[in-house]
């Protein structure tokens, strides 16, 4: 007797490569298969007579095979099947390339459905590689809205749809996690209906009803998690960090510039939160180069001066070290800012306090003893051996890059909950703020320093590469430096996509007179350090790098950013790369090279070249790629596969339904499945 927990290999006959592909998708059981929803549909619901079909128009035809033969192409390399099919109105030729075996599985007299868009060949219409299946009362691959699922190599769409058809009778055994009242009030189908409407919709309305239900469920679960988090936080206690105005003035007096209005406003909001005993839970959003790091350090200075510990988490060792060096510059010289304020660095490769190297074990002992300091580091600060005694503030740089459990480990290890300040240079679209960040207070820095010039950005066609390289040479001759970003570290089987190691060799031949460095994520700490030190000191003029430089790396003398395979990055990520230049008074430039001729991809890059504002770009990126592609689906406990701006109207009812449910059953004792879901989704302070 089969159930939802039945393993796929015992339920449906599949080959090893197919099972391996399913496992890569996280599909192990019948339930997993049913809940792997389609990403879009092919509309083959329009059934036509052969006499009415037109070139380029998706249709389904019902016809009888008049003849079918298998043969090889004229060069003998490709097996193909050729058939002639007809209905009562006309006949048409059908060709299946690389599928010569169909001449054995299909025979003269078979009635079949053919789905696809016919094309013109030598002036006559023909179907080329159409989807086919034998006529039945329950077509799976034709004559309907055919679902398209995200699959892995080794698994064909037909095979997966056949698997779903076999699993479908068990849909009624699926647990419904949404309350009945919520479903009824919002006109949503139950999960069993949603599964059927998704995989086998009878019409577009059913497919839309299923997607609406899935989008609502995502928003509802996130609103539930957000609301519960906020209520829990209100009951917890944090260390109150009183504001020392004289210390703030003294710190600001060390800066060689004045804070922007946006920085001043954000700093004041954060410092006010720190004075409260209720834990701060704030997101500081700012475009590339807007000065978020400095605002965060101002807050950490206040905490450290009062005898507390502050942690500044960075996503990469390079960035952690850079923040550490920046802080030292303002905290230590000239003269110590305050006896309690130290700057410490703890990563896999470094252990330092102020200007001195120290043994890792010694620094760990100081942390356990409660030494007041600002501790900069990576995930190394989250290890179980690191025990903070008086942690008052946690700053998380590029917060969407940190996993929920990673942050929770640091936060939950304290007797008092530390204040949390998350930084993001990837502006969050307004629509997503509404849907996702109900538990967060948000500060924004939209103004940039006065001396920053707009970065000239353009998409360079292949024929323009020589001129672009000439321009690069001219810039370096003027004393400037350049980044060259590649999507890959090493050569792969992805045709035309550049890799850092090969690009280094190519550029060394093109620019024999320049020193060229290499930086990527697989290098050891000391190698990365040396590469960055050489680039900062202008000992190397060009740095070939991967996305390891995406966030925060600051080289004021760099004025050219070349991005190879630019179509492989999202707009927000491209904006991060672009933000590595233009950080001084020099006019800077960003040159985009595509490794594809796909017009849609090029249009996206053209849009990027015309928009300099990160907030506007984030909205555009959401439209182009959707939330899952924009931020990743596991980086921060987010999983918005189905939400898009079309479902904005669902946010308020989802929010109200979540609040009502928690008022009736705060611990969700009557909804254990829902409780399990939100525990996996909680974003901040679980």
Residue 144 CA neighbour count, 13 Å, CB half? 23
Q: Tell me phi and psi for residue 283, to 5 degrees.
A: -105, 125
CA nearest to 542, candidates 553, 534, 550:
534
Rounded CA-CA distance 472/492 in Å is 27
What confidence score (pLDDT) does residue 69 get?
A: 94
Percentage of the chain modeled with pLDDT above 70:
89
Angle at 459 between CA 454 and CA 461, to 5 degrees: 150
Determine the Cα–Cα distance for residues 397 and 400; give it in Å rounded to an integer: 9
CB contact set of 447 (below 8 Å; sequence gap of 6+): 260, 261, 262, 263, 290
* Alpha-carbon torsion (599, 605, 610, 614), positive or negative: positive
3-state SS of 537-602 is CCCCCEEEECHHHCCCCCCCCEEEEEECCHHHCCHHHHHHHHCCCCCCCCCCEEEEECCCCCHHHH
Q: What number of H helices and E strands is found in the chain?
A: 23, 24
Task: Kindly state the tokens that stand for 268.
Answer: 């004041």
| Residues 588-612, mean pLDDT to the nearest whole number | 90
Residue recorded with tokens 């007041």 = 372
Question: Of 635, 685, 683, whose CA–CA distance to 221 is shortest?
Answer: 683
Do 595 and 568 touch, CB atoms closer than 8 A?
yes
Instruction: Calculate mean pLDDT across residues 89-97.
Output: 94
Q: What angle do CA 581, 584, 589 make, to 5 degrees?
A: 35
- 3-class secondary-structure state, position 317: helix
SS3 225: helix
φ/ψ of 471, rounded to 5, equals -65, -40
Closest residue by Cα to residue 549 from 562, 565, 539, 538: 562
Question: Looking at residue 118, what is its pLDDT?
Answer: 93
pLDDT digits (tens, 9 = 90+) for 378-422: 888 888 888 999 999 999 887 554 544 555 555 555 678 899 898
- Which pair of structure tokens corresponds to residue 14? 């599949």
pLDDT for 631 equals: 42
Tokens of 676: 């399990």
Question: Tell me, what DSSP letter sits at residue 260?
Answer: P
Q: Spell out the domains of the chain, with CATH numbers in brackets.
A: 1-45+144-174 (no CATH), 58-139 (2.40.50.140), 245-445 (3.40.50.300), 456-611 (3.40.50.300)
CB of 263 closer than 8 Å to CB of 379: no
* 273 confidence band (pLDDT: 50, 70, 90): very high
Render pLDDT for 128-159 as a digit per residue (tens, 0 to 9). 999 999 998 889 999 999 999 999 988 999 99
Paired sense of beta strands 131-134 and 356-357, if any: unpaired
Q: What is the DSSP string of 139-206?
A: -SSSSSEEEE----TT--HHHHHHHHHHHGGGGGGSPP-S-HHHHHHTT---HHHHHHHHHS-SSHHH
Say how far apart CA 231 and CA 367 lie, in whole Å: 31
Each residue's pLDDT tens digit, 515-561: 999 998 888 878 888 898 899 899 999 999 988 776 667 888 999 99
d(CA 556, CA 539): 14
Residue 264, token pair as written in the block: 């001043």
Give the model's pLDDT for residue 638. 45
Q: Model's pTM, two decimal places?
A: 0.71
Rounded to whole angstroms, the maximal C-alpha distance in the chain is: 95
SS3 211: helix
Q: Which of 496, 487, 493 is nearest to 569 (CA)?
A: 487
DSSP 171: G
Q: What value does the mean pLDDT take over residues 602-608? A: 90
**Preceding amide of 334 cis, omega within 30:** yes
Contact between 650 and 216 (Cβ < 8 Å)? yes
CA angle 432, 651, 434 (to 5 degrees): 30
For residue 313 the two structure tokens come to: 């988490």
H or E element at residue 23: helix 16-24
pLDDT over threshold 50, residue 628: no
Q: Is the pLDDT of residue 685 over 70?
A: no
Tokens of 186: 């919002």
Instruction: Give the three-class secondary structure for 242.
Output: coil
């Amino acid at each position: 007797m089969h159930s939802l927990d039945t393993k796929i290999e015992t339920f449906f006959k599949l080959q090893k490569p197919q099972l391996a592909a399913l496992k890569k998708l996280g599909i192990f059981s019948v339930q997993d298969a049913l809940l792997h929803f389609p990403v879009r549909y092919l509309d083959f619901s329009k059934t036509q007579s052969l006499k009415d079909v037109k070139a380029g128009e998706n249709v389904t035809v019902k016809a009888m095979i008049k003849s079918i033969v298998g043969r090889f192409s004229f060069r003998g390399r490709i097996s193909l099947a050729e058939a002639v099919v007809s209905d009562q109105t006309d006949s048409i030729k059908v060709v299946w390339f690389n599928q010569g075996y169909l001449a054995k599985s299909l025979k003269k007299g078979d009635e079949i459905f053919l789905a696809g868009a016919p094309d013109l060949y030598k002036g006559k219409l023909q179907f080329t590689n159409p989807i086919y299946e034998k006529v039945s009362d329950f077509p799976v691959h034709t004559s309907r809205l055919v679902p398209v699922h995200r699959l892995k190599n080794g698994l064909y769409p037909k095979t997966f749809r056949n698997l779903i058809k076999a699993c479908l009778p068990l849909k009624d055994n699926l647990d419904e996690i949404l309350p009945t009242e919520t479903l009824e009030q919002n006109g949503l189908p139950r999960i069993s209906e949603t599964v059927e409407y998704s995989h086998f919709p009878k019409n577009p309305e059913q497919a839309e009803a299923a997607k609406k239900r899935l989008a609502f469920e995502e928003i509802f679960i996130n609103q539930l998690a957000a609301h519960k988090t906020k209520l829990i936080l209100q009951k917890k206690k944090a260390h109150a960090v009183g504001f020392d105005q004289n210390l703030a003035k003294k710190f600001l007096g060390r800066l060689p510039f004045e804070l922007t209005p946006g920085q001043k406003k954000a700093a004041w909001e954060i410092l006010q939160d720190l004075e409260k005993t209720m834990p701060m839970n704030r997101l500081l959003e700012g475009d590339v180069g807007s000065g978020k790091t400095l605002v965060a350090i101002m807050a950490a200075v206040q905490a450290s001066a009062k005898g507390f510990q502050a942690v500044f988490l960075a996503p990469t060792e390079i960035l952690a070290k850079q923040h550490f060096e920046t802080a030292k510059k303002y905290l230590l010289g000239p003269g110590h800012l305050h006896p309690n304020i130290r700057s410490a660095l703890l990563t896999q490769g470094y252990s330092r306090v102020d200007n001195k190297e120290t043994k890792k074990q010694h620094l760990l002992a100081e942390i356990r003893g409660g030494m007041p300091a600002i501790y900069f580091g990576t995930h190394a600060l989250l290890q179980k051996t690191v025990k903070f005694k008086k942690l008052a503030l946690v700053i998380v740089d590029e917060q969407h890059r940190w996993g929920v459990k990673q942050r929770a480990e640091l936060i939950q290890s304290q007797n008092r909950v530390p204040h949390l300040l998350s930084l993001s240079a990837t502006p969050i679209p307004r629509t997503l703020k509404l849907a996702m960040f109900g538990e967060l207070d948000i500060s924004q820095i939209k103004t940039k320093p006065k001396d920053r010039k707009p970065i000239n950005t353009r998409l360079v066609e292949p024929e323009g590469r020589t001129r672009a390289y000439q321009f690069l040479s001219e810039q370096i001759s003027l004393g400037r430096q350049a980044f060259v970003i590649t999507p890959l570290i090493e050569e792969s089987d992805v045709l035309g996509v550049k890799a850092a190691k090969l690009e280094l060799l190519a550029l060394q031949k093109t620019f024999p007179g320049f020193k060229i460095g290499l930086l990527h994520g697989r290098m050891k700490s000391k190698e990365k350090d040396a590469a960055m030190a050489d680039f900062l000191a202008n000992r190397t003029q060009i740095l070939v790098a991967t996305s390891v430089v995406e966030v925060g790396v600051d080289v004021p003398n760099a004025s050219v950013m070349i991005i190879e395979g630019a179509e492989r990055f999202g707009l927000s990520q491209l904006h991060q790369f672009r933000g590595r230049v233009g950080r001084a008074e020099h006019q800077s430039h960003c040159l985009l090279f595509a490794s594809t001729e796909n017009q849609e991809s090029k249009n996206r890059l053209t849009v990027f070249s015309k928009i300099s504002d990160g907030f506007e770009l984030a909205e555009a990126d959401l439209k182009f790629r959707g939330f899952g592609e924009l931020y990743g689906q596991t980086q921060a406990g987010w999983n918005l596969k189905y939400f898009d701006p079309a479902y904005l109207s669902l946010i308020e009812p989802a929010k109200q339904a979540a609040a009502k449910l928690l008022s009736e059953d705060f611990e969700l004792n009557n909804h254990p499945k829902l409780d399990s879901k939100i525990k996996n989704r909680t974003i901040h302070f679980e």
